[in-house]
Amino acid sequence: MKKIAVFASGNGSNFQVIAEEFPVEFVFSDHRDAYVLERAKNLGVASYAFELKEFDNKTAYEEAIVKLLDEHQIDLVCLAGYMKIVGPSLLSAYEGRIINIHPAYLPEFPGAHGIEDAWNAGVAESGVTIHWVDSGVDTGMVIKQVRVPRLAGDTLDTFETRIHETEYKLYPEVLELLGVEKKEDG
């Protein structure tokens, strides 16, 4: 069975969706006060958190993450609102084993503000993308994408809500596609 770890920086709503359907070995956050850690506790999932500023440099920070992944024999890292760029140390150790979810239809609107950027551009539709992580920002090979239309009467909030709802459907689909087994019932 593939062992997965989920990385998140904040709220952790995508982590929650994943952890309710799939066995998650642990969640990692780069913020010690992130709500995702509370979600993990409530779901009985192990969690770890440390911050870049606690290390001498990004290499040392990522080496600590790689050590954690290796100790747990993680097969697939699922970035779910993890707001750090994956650097060379982590990427070289886990290349081809890290996926990311992005709230836009890549290559449109890469970066940290995909939903807001799409909204401000006035597009008729945006979407959600899950892709392999490479050395670029949201440039890795696409695994699966779904379009999300901008409806008449939408506000930024309603548009954002529909994009997040799409994320919650897409991540489990992709994990199944990649051979991650769902939790056994009972």
Instruction: Reply yes or no on whether 102 is catalytic.
Output: yes
β-strand pairing of 4-7 with 47-49? unpaired
Q: How far apart are the first and last CA of the chain?
A: 18
Phi-psi region of 111 (alpha: psi -120 to 50; beta: other; left: phi over 0): left
Burial class (CB in 10 A: 0-12, 13-18, 19+), 100: buried
Q: Which of 72, 102, 113, 164 is catalytic?
A: 102
Show the tokens assigned to 139: 């440039």
Q: Report the alpha-carbon angle 151-122-81, nearest 5.
A: 80
Backbone angles phi, psi at 18, to 5 degrees: -65, -50
- The CA distance from 116 to 85, in Å, is 19
Positions marked active-site:
102
